[in-house]
Structure 1
Amino acid sequence: MGVRIRQAGESDRETVVRLLDEAFMGDPVSSWVFPDEDHRRKVHGTFMGVFLDITLAEGRVDMTEDGTAAALWLHVPAGAPEEEDDTPARMREITDPGNERAELIGRLTGAVHPHDRAHEYLLLIAVSPEWQGQGLGSALITPVLERCDRDGVPAYLEASSARSSRLYERLGFGFTGRTVDLPDGPHMWPMWREPVTARERSA
């Protein structure tokens, strides 16, 4: 399908936050972080906005021209961080100070995040609910993965459901073998993708 993609900037923040809020409102992980639906509707957009602000400042946000889908990418260098990541604590402080799960989700995913090789990290991908299942997600991801292949760079993500993990498998991602197990909640599937060479593609 022909999908026009552009890089988002600060002027797109409101549009992308609204998209992330709608796309992840019923997600298993968001529902675990904010189990009360009424409360979730009040703070979820702010929570998603923290992810977006980090990516706008340090990474890249690709979005469809019509604003129906967006992908948040961060480049992660090789080597363990020199300082402790304060992002999980900031997420909790900004979003929902009394909710330890708003911080714990970042701590748990950070604990299994690989750092032995530089890679592109798909932090989040969101498709507007009425457009899900139309191939927009793949259309957004594929150009980045093709660039990874050309440059010989791996990619990484955490799937928030078994269904989405199967979709990522079609794009060349594989389960790392260790789930992120949220206490009394759902599992997340860390997934890694090795770059594909031109020879491998033609084989």
Structure 2
Amino acid sequence: MLSKVCVVRSDRSDVGEVVDIMSTAFFDDPVCRWFFPDERQRETQHPPFFWPLVEEAYTNGEVYLTDDRAGAALWLPVDVSAHTRPPDLARMYEDSVGPSSAARIGVFGALNAAIHPTSINHDYLPFIAVRPEWQGSGRGAALLDHRHAWLDEHSRPAYLTASNQRSAKLYERLGYRRLAGTIDMPDGPSLYPMWRNPISS
């Protein structure tokens, strides 16, 4: 039986470890397989893909780890009044992962930005990951529960996109509901936008 999982706030000294968690956990994820269809190349393309995303979370948001370094979550605050332009991901990644994968990442970025809620400030969970050998152990739920407690205390909603039906069901058990519509990759997988309202005490 899993003992209590402790969650700690991470600092930038952990960036390499967090990138490694993300890179290994998402190796067989449907969206990452669509980004990087060649398995032999995916292993080398994942770290340069995740590195700037993890860096952004350290710079503009918060990063949390389980104390055994098996799981990590990236959170970004969203101020809907800021009207910031989404980055050109295709251009950003062209040199690091190649033009074909960069173009797919760019398509995802544009579709994701188009459906992202803009009516209320919230926290956005772009990625949560648990190392493959620890998936299903409760570490992902512990990472979510830890942040949800803070969100509930501050009456702040949360938003994420589930990349498969299995993870969507987990999020539903933790208070998320599916929003209308999906994010459909051309000739690829669909993602499910999900929203969680804060729970009043």
What TM-score comes out, normalization by structure 1 length?
A: 0.92
Alignment of 1:23-62 (within 5 A): 23-62=25-64
Offset of residue 94 of structure 1: 4.8
Offset of residue 40 of structure 1: 1.2
Query: In the alignment, does 2:185 pair up with 1:144?
Result: no
What per-residue deviation string (whole Å, max 9, x for no partner) do you get for residues 146-189 of structure 1?
11112111100000001100000001000001100000000000
Alignment of 1:104-143 (within 5 A): 104-143=107-146
Contact 1:91 1:102 in 2 (8 A): no
Cα distance in structure 1, aligned partners of 2:82 and 2:172? 27
The RMSD of aligned alpha carbons is: 1.4
> Residue 201 of structure 1 corresponds to which residue in structure 2?
none
Name the amino acid aligned to 1:10: R
Name the amino acid aligned to 2:110: R
Cα distance in structure 2, aligned partners of 1:140 and 1:124? 11
Cα distance in structure 2, aligned partners of 1:53 and 1:90? 18
Cα distance in structure 2, aligned partners of 1:149 and 1:5? 17
What per-residue deviation string (whole Å, max 9, x for no partner) do you get for residues 18-45 of structure 1?
1110000110000001111112122111
> Aligned residues, how many?
197
Q: In the alignment, which of 180, 185, 196 is matched to residue 182 of structure 1? A: 185
Contact 1:6 1:63 in 2 (8 A): yes
What per-residue deviation string (whole Å, max 9, x for no partner) do you get for residues 30-75 of structure 1?
0001111112122111101121011111100000112100000000
Contact 1:165 1:189 in 2 (8 A): yes
Cα distance in structure 1, aligned partners of 2:12 and 2:154? 28
> Residue 75 of structure 2 corresponds to which residue in structure 1?
73
Cα distance in structure 2, aligned partners of 1:152 and 1:87? 32
**Structure 2: segments with no counterpart, 5+ residues:** none
Query: In the alignment, does 2:196 pair up with 1:193?
Result: yes
Identity of matched residues, %: 41
Contact 1:96 1:102 in 2 (8 A): no
Query: In the alignment, does 2:91 pair up with 1:95?
Result: no
Q: Secondary structure at the match of 1:172?
A: coil
Contact 2:75 2:123 in 1 (8 A): yes
Name the amino acid aligned to 1:107: A
Query: In the alignment, does 2:176 pair up with 1:157?
Result: no
Cα distance in structure 1, aligned partners of 2:166 and 2:92? 27
Offset of residue 103 of structure 1: 1.6
Q: Secondary structure at the match of 1:191?
A: strand
Cα distance in structure 2, aligned partners of 1:8 and 1:132? 20
Cα distance in structure 1, aligned partners of 2:88 and 2:25? 22
Query: In the alignment, does 2:11 pair up with 1:9?
Result: yes
Contact 2:76 2:125 in 1 (8 A): yes
